[in-house]
Structure 1
Amino acid sequence: MHVYSEVNPTAVNGAYSQESARRTAARACRSERRAPPRGGSEALPLGGGPPHRGRLPPAIAAGRGGDHAAAAGQAEAPPPAPRPRSHGRLLRLCPQRGYREAAFWRNALSVPISIPPPLEVVLEKRAAEPGRAFQNWHHTGSWCLDGLILGAFASETEDGPCQFTKAGEAFNSCLSGKLKELLAISGPPLKKGKTRIFHGLHQDFSSVIVVGLGKKGAGVNKHENWNEDKENIRTAVAVGCRQFQDLEVPCVEVDPCGDAQAAAEGAILGLFDYDELKTKKKPKVEVQLHKSGGIEAQDEDLWKKGCIYADGQNLARSLMEGPANYITPTRFAAIIKEELGKAAAQSGKVTVHTRDKSWIEAQKMGSFFSVAKGSDEPPVFLEIHYQGSNDASEPPLIFVGKGITFDSGGISIKPSANMDAMRADMGGAATISSAIVTAVKLKLPLNMIGLTPLCENMPSGRANKPGDVVTAMNGKTIQVDNTDAEGRLVLADALFYAHSFKPRAIVDAATLTGAMVTALGSAATGVFTNSCQLWNQLYEASIVTGDRVWRMPLFEHYTKQVTDCQLADVNNVGKYKSGGACTAAAFLKEFVTISNWAHLDIAGVMDNIDEVPYLRKGMAGRPTRTLVEFATRLSQDKKSI
């Protein structure tokens, strides 16, 4: 539905000051609605829809003779030309498609349309056959292509009218209350996450989408463990942006909706779609903050911060989604190095070491290398150093990520069904590396180190065999009873190596166990930790980001199941089939001596079907934003841990 509304010029101010002149001229045009003569031109009214739907305009009525002629006080005129197949109207202005979808007097040879200044749009049809839609249109002058997303809160009462945000109220005032009227008559009260779209309301915006934000001031939901206001904003803005993407609107202004960071995250996360290897791609949409309507002073900073957070998660999604023959260990390291180079902008605060096979063997990382040697793809141990603090001697926060770029299961090979998803088994490496890239962009005053052992887990004559015993960097021997439990083998050496930097805390992330998928599904990341302070920081960070965490047990009960081993010090699988995620964490604990350590099993949140409404189907890149928010909090509070 295309709606063109009248505006009281006295209500126009600020960013909408151009509206007065345009709409005054538009009203003048509306005073005479008549069809243009065949082959000629006529001013097209911007308001009220088609010139003659339901009744004939005066000019045509006068030409019909009979009662119409008598009413007009004129002599009977010759019979008019046959009425065009398409009524004299502008069906749709779609500049980004070259106006090909517009239709006006389809059987006319040439129809220029004049619209009062400051909008001057000329549409022409050349050599078109009668009855056919226009194919070649030409646009002269200026027509704003932007779309606008405005938020609306649900009423306190069930059937009450919606309440606009500050930006929404300002825009509605500019239109003399017309937006609120249209919203009221367009259907039932706008529900959370739903939208209404209005076309042609304002010269600056081709379309306006009003999104439902739910109830205002919902705050932290203690049962859901997230900030409901922020989640509602992310979801609503994402839905609106996707709708504009479907309309091929190239630029969208977004209402901050009371939380500019959440709005930015929803917009950028919602639009992401991995199509790098497709010839037909989705239209690109640029999103920016809508700055009219009295935005708060900090909104621009929060918007930029939200964009950086979302870009970080999208980087992880892109890495996880990439096919294994594209995202090899070597290529993964090169991408992260390139991203860090752009983020650091020659600050000299970032150092990247790409360790090769000879270095891995020299460090006696026998556990990691036992997995890597099964593949022809060379392993890489990626080591990232970011010195954000002014004190170089300040103990670093260390992130460790599992980097299996493809997991076939090795000799204990996986079923073929859905094995393609194992291209994302490097999700731990992707999320922690992307989190560090984001921290560098944010210029966090914090020293950080990222460690990612990268390799493939493949079956071959060199691969681990069930029952093999390998020796880890710390000297402990490991009985490998299941080669598909390889993630803990590569992490074991990386965790022990992390201690050499005397860290403030170590946090590892890994798509480690199918048992975690069974335990928590995609609702939250499972966290195993030996530190209550560390857990509290992670938990509080997850409430802000909406990417939740849930604490899991790290009992001695599980440790006994991996240390009761027939051939070696520890077994890479538990004695019993139950509690697989817990025994995996207990295995990792055998290679940790620091008092502030957390293990994040992200297997359940690896991908998204429709569980998170502001993420499209595919690899999720979770919990990148939670890791970034966690690092941000540690940079502000250096005494808690």
Structure 2
Amino acid sequence: MSNKLSDFDGLVLGAYKDGSLSDTASKEIPTNVQEIIKQQLQYSSSKGGLGEVRVLYGIEGLPSKIAVVGLGTKPESPKDSLNKARVAAASGARALRDQGSKNISIDVMTDEHGASEGATLGLYQPDRLKSIQNQKEAIKISKFGSLVSVQGLTWETGLIYAEAQNFARLLANSPANHMTPTIFTENVEAYLQNLSKVEVIIREKEWAEEKKMGSFLSVGRGSDEPSKFLEIHYKGGKEGDKPLALVGKGVTFDSGGISLKPPANMSAMKIDMGGGAAVSAALYGIAKLELPINVVVTVPLCENLPSGHATKPGDVIIAMNGKSIEVDNTDAEGRLILADALYYTSSTFKPHSLIDIATLTGAMVVALGTDKYSGVFSNSDKLWEDLLEAGKLTNDQFWRMPLDDFYKKAMTKSDVADYINASSSKYGGACTAAIFLKEFVYGLSDEGTVGKNITSADKEKKEKEDNVIENIIDKDADEVNKIRYAHIDMAGVMDTGEDSGYNVKGATGRPTRSIIEVARKLATPK
């Protein structure tokens, strides 16, 4: 047997329904030992279902504790192989940790990437603020066996994908007093500091004021914590190549502001920066993989609290693009900070693709439920297909929703401003929010004029630009060579209520791995 199993105090092995070990384990473990394991499984009435664990002890030649984990039936596809390995490795590693193992060898089972990813995700613990004696000890994992790489994914890439998601989990699980806008930027800067080709820029309130980001700044007015604007660049591609842009909602605590939320479960609103956590963590994964692609990440960060300084229902604010917005509901704040972030990112960096991620609407939870899908609104079939395939591979999946100008009417029903930030209808809330955001993507909507000195020449130029935009607005982005845009509403998957497989109770850190996978595919020559 290889990998010096005597160095480990635990071993995770995969086994199919018939009791046979995974192909990788079968090559490494003597036949007589395999028979002993199969017999022990029969004695324990193991059914071999995916994730079912039996811990065995004292089998000669193996570590003192062995977690044999069900793989179910043979995998039917590469994606199935990935997920079986994820679930089994996570379940086995957790079972051995609970038995006191600290140095565990993981059978790569049906997929190397899936096994390392699953074990690393499954062993995550949100206990960093507990006393040392109450924290679970860090576990070391190593691979047992080997498989030929599939789609360029290996044991090492699985570690990177999982480490990235765990970083997003760490950010989003932190209580709001331990993850203010300032602390968020400090954490991200420290985590990225040793990566090459990465530049982290932390913008202050004064910078946002100079940029006339009235929409973003309006949300944080009620808090004593200063708002921040985080900007990260990864320059892995050729100089001058258009970047992939990722924008994440960064409300580090959302009380609803003057439109105060009900107190029940308000503590979960520390996760309202889950989108910002995901894009920051995805940038880590992209840079760690050294992908040949340029990426820019922006995260507007603030708290949404009530006070004598807070924005009030009925206030009118002016966004960076010159459009005015009536604030009907201060609890519809995510779209306000994203409006300026989207316009700044799209107009400044001219990305080929722009993806924003946000815990945006309760309506998305009503539409798709919890734990399974994030909703995607996109003007590009190809970008949607990239997200769809990435989500299937990572098993962090998406469902397409309509990005349709039909919903814009509800967001322009203001007597005093160009837009209103919340629809008066209780229906289609995720759709109206998405179309509102699209209005602030440069090139996908006309520019506003509020607060600008407009000449007759400017008016004529603007009319021509507006006509161009109107002619392409309903066409697929790739057909008319305009920016590809996708809005991801992750409200239904921002947290989970129980440990299951590689999912750990608390903030999920999703859809970090799927975004890394999108970037990997975009960076791979066709």
TM-score (norm 2): 0.88
Q: Which amino acid aligns with 2:295?
A: M
Q: Which residue in the other structure is 1:219 paired with?
A: 77
Q: Which residue in the other structure is 1:382 paired with?
A: 230
What is the rounded CA distance, in whole Å, between the counterparts of 1:297 and 1:615 in structure 2?
26
- Aligned residue for 1:205, secondary structure, equals coil
What is the rounded CA distance, in whole Å, between the counterparts of 1:490 and 1:266 in structure 2?
34
What is the rounded CA distance, in whole Å, between the counterparts of 2:160 and 2:21 in structure 1?
30
Which among 272, 278, 281 is matched to residue 124 of structure 2?
272
What is the rounded CA distance, in whole Å, between the counterparts of 1:189 and 1:333 in structure 2?
48
User: 1:504 and 1:200, CA in 2 relative to 1: closer, same or farther beyond 3 A?
Assistant: same
The sequence identity of aligned pairs, in percent, is 47
User: 1:251 and 1:14, CA in 2 relative to 1: closer, same or farther beyond 3 A?
Assistant: closer
Aligned residues of 1:527 and 1:551 also touching (Cα < 8 A):
yes
Which among 139, 148, 157 is matched to residue 285 of structure 1?
139
The 5-angstrom pairing of residues 383-398 of structure 1 reads 383-389=231-237, 391-398=238-245
Which among 233, 254, 275 is matched to residue 428 of structure 1?
275
What is the rounded CA distance, in whole Å, between the counterparts of 1:612 and 1:228 in structure 2?
17
What is the rounded CA distance, in whole Å, between the counterparts of 2:362 and 2:168 in structure 1?
21
Moved more, 417-426 or 208-217: 208-217
Does residue 247 in structure 1 map to residue 99 in structure 2?
Answer: yes
Structure 2 segments unaligned to the other structure (5+ residues): 445-481
Does residue 597 in structure 1 map to residue 446 in structure 2?
Answer: no
Which among 165, 168, 189 is matched to residue 313 of structure 1?
165
Q: Which residue in the other structure is 1:326 paired with?
A: 178
Bigger relative CO (Cα 8 Å, ≥ 6 apart): 2
Does residue 413 in structure 1 map to residue 271 in structure 2?
Answer: no
Question: Max radius of gyration: which structure?
Answer: 1
1:146 CA drift (Å): 2.1
What is the rounded CA distance, in whole Å, between the counterparts of 1:307 and 1:232 in structure 2?
16
The 5-angstrom pairing of residues 169-568 of structure 1 reads 169-173=27-31, 175=33, 177-219=35-77, 227-279=79-131, 280-291=134-145, 295-296=146-147, 298=149, 302-342=154-194, 344=195, 347=196, 349-389=197-237, 391-499=238-346, 500-522=348-370, 523-568=372-417
What is the rounded CA distance, in whole Å, between the counterparts of 2:33 and 2:67 in structure 1?
15
- 4+ runs of 1 displaced by more than 6 Å? none
Aligned residues of 2:24 and 2:108 also touching (Cα < 8 A):
no
Structure 1 residues 484-504: Cα deviation after superposition (integer angstroms, max 9, x where no partner): 000000000000001211111
Q: Which residue in the other structure is 2:16 paired with?
A: 153
Moved more, 396-405 or 571-580: 571-580
Q: Larger % of helix: which? A: 2
Aligned residues of 2:111 and 2:147 also touching (Cα < 8 A):
no
What is the rounded CA distance, in whole Å, between the counterparts of 1:168 and 1:283 in structure 2?
31
User: 1:462 and 1:150, CA in 2 relative to 1: closer, same or farther beyond 3 A?
Assistant: same
Which among 497, 501, 506 is matched to residue 613 of structure 1?
501
Structure 1 segments unaligned to the other structure (5+ residues): 1-12, 19-142, 156-160, 221-226
1:170 CA drift (Å): 3.0
1:395 CA drift (Å): 0.1
Q: Which residue in the other structure is 2:515 paired with?
A: 627
Aligned residues of 2:285 and 2:516 also touching (Cα < 8 A):
yes
1:272 CA drift (Å): 0.5
Structure 1 residues 309-351: Cα deviation after superposition (integer angstroms, max 9, x where no partner): 0000000000000011110101100111111112x1xx3x111
What is the rounded CA distance, in whole Å, between the counterparts of 1:14 and 1:483 in structure 2?
61
User: 1:177 and 1:576, CA in 2 relative to 1: closer, same or farther beyond 3 A?
Assistant: same
1:188 CA drift (Å): 4.2
Q: Which amino acid aligns with 1:626?
A: S
What is the rounded CA distance, in whole Å, between the counterparts of 2:414 and 2:153 in structure 1?
55
What is the rounded CA distance, in whole Å, between the counterparts of 1:154 and 1:194 in structure 2?
10
Structure 1 residues 455-477: Cα deviation after superposition (integer angstroms, max 9, x where no partner): 00010111110011000000000
User: 1:258 and 1:515, CA in 2 relative to 1: closer, same or farther beyond 3 A?
Assistant: same
What is the rounded CA distance, in whole Å, between the counterparts of 1:196 and 1:172 in structure 2?
20
Structure 1 residues 139-168: Cα deviation after superposition (integer angstroms, max 9, x where no partner): xxxx7542111111224xxxxx44533214
What is the rounded CA distance, in whole Å, between the counterparts of 2:164 and 2:292 in structure 1?
18
Aligned residues of 2:84 and 2:110 also touching (Cα < 8 A):
no
What is the root-mean-square deviation of aligned Cα atoms in Å?
1.9
Q: Which amino acid aligns with 1:288?
A: S
What is the rounded CA distance, in whole Å, between the counterparts of 1:637 and 1:15 in structure 2?
35
What is the rounded CA distance, in whole Å, between the counterparts of 1:216 and 1:208 in structure 2?
21
1:611 CA drift (Å): 8.0
Aligned residues of 1:435 and 1:624 also touching (Cα < 8 A):
yes
- Aligned residue for 1:275, secondary structure, equals coil
User: 1:200 and 1:144, CA in 2 relative to 1: closer, same or farther beyond 3 A?
Assistant: farther
1:219 CA drift (Å): 2.3
User: 1:277 and 1:496, CA in 2 relative to 1: closer, same or farther beyond 3 A?
Assistant: same
- Aligned residue for 1:432, secondary structure, equals helix
What is the rounded CA distance, in whole Å, between the counterparts of 2:499 and 2:122 in structure 1?
13
1:609 CA drift (Å): 1.4
- Aligned residue for 1:151, secondary structure, equals strand
User: 1:442 and 1:550, CA in 2 relative to 1: closer, same or farther beyond 3 A?
Assistant: same
1:285 CA drift (Å): 1.2
What is the rounded CA distance, in whole Å, between the counterparts of 1:377 and 1:174 in structure 2?
65
